Amino acid sequence: MEQRKRIYLCLAHMSENGMEQKYIKDAFDQNWVVPLGPNVNGFEADLEAFVGQNKHIVALASGTAAVHLGLLCCGVGRGDEVMTQSFTFCASSHPITYLGAQPVFVDSEPDTWNMDPVLLEEAILDRIRKTGRIPRAIMPVSLYGMPYCVDQILRVANKYNIPVMEDVAEGLGSNYRGRPLGTFGRYGVLSFNGNKMITTSGGGALICPSEQEADRVKWYATQAREAYPYYQHEDIGYNYRLSNICAGIGRGQMTVLQDHLAHHRHVQKLYEQLLAPVQGIEVHCAPSEDYDSNYWLTTITLDPKLQVKGQAWAYSQAVNGAVGGAASVVHGGGTLRTDCQPNDNVEAMRVFLNNRQIESRPLWKPMHRQPVYKDAPAYTNGVSEALFRIGLCLPTGPCVSDDDVHYIVECIKDGIG
């Protein structure tokens, strides 16, 4: 029997018209092999046209860099506190610590899985009581592309005059009430990592409210050089600008962005239809039409009572590489289990699918349960931790065909004990 191809979670897919190669070739032909140039300018213009709302966009080396500079421009510094979502990837919180500030983690509400606005206000009031200071910024996240509770979060932010920076690294093309995510707050963060809706191989961008603010971000991103004929520095800057080569990939990717968005939403609907009859499996969906997710990844939850083949051997073997296709170096785990991990049936399903050449991965482990943040203030309601224990991400990217989805669902069914 012919072995089935490996089905990856979400990998970039190059345009069929080869525009990425054209823009890269142009960069080499014109000798623009530097972190500025026509492709960078063109990519920023394409993104500005896509998000609209008279926003200005700065292309940067990573989404993490965009978080860092956005926080910096919000005035975050040493000793400040930033209210951020616990249920997210570490790139949302690590840049807070780069600046010497303190992340304050806020748990999720159960509909969108994003920051709970009621808990947010309770947390703000408690931080004011305990520190005598208002938090410097609020950073909601659009987890797996799902819009956060925009109206409620902004209402709280405006009440206490706290700037909002939207982390929509996973949400390019998602909308709330017809308006693109990343355009509601003072700043918005985008990511073009190799597994996002479009890619520049790495890279990110910061959505800014004005040309003046965008120029400020560019200044910080190019080592904060003053206007002298020699190198004069009066502030700390960073080497965060996107390369002209990578921006060329991004310009080509913009020509297929709408196709990618349509594909992800189609795959989500197909999963919903095929998994609807499967007892014990639920597909996470938008709570209403106001929340127009790009469905960067389709996510499911497994009933804790569900029995999965191989469950008795869950966590019996150490993972040697990074689960989820992360192209990175990882430390070997000290033990096979921790006090906060997916249920055994979730891990058994991940292993079962992996043995069928299907990549899946757990949901993000809440930041307030990460050892590195054990001492950080956290305002919790149990939602994110409960979801982490029962959730799994399924392949959704442009390379995932309808036949692949049918195969994945059949394998899920087969894996149930």
Burial class (CB in 10 A: 0-12, 13-18, 19+), 197: buried
The radius of gyration of the chain's CA atoms, rounded to the nearest angstrom, is: 21
1 falls in which pLDDT band (50, 70, 90)?
very low
CA angle, corner 170, sides to 283 and 26, nearest 5? 135
The whole-number pLDDT of residue 325 equals 47
| pLDDT tens column, 279-323 | 999 999 999 999 999 999 999 999 999 999 999 999 988 776 655
The whole-number pLDDT of residue 203 equals 97
pLDDT above 70 for 2: no
Q: Which domains does the chain have, with CATH numbers?
A: 19-256 (3.40.640.10), 258-415 (3.90.1150.10)
pTM (two decimals) = 0.95
| pLDDT tens column, 207-240 | 999 999 999 999 999 999 999 999 999 999 999 9
Q: How far is CA 216 from the centre of its chain?
A: 24
**Residue 413: helix, strand or coil by DSSP?**
helix
d(CA 84, CA 181): 17
| pLDDT tens column, 338-396 | 999 999 999 999 999 999 999 999 999 999 999 999 999 999 999 999 999 999 999 99
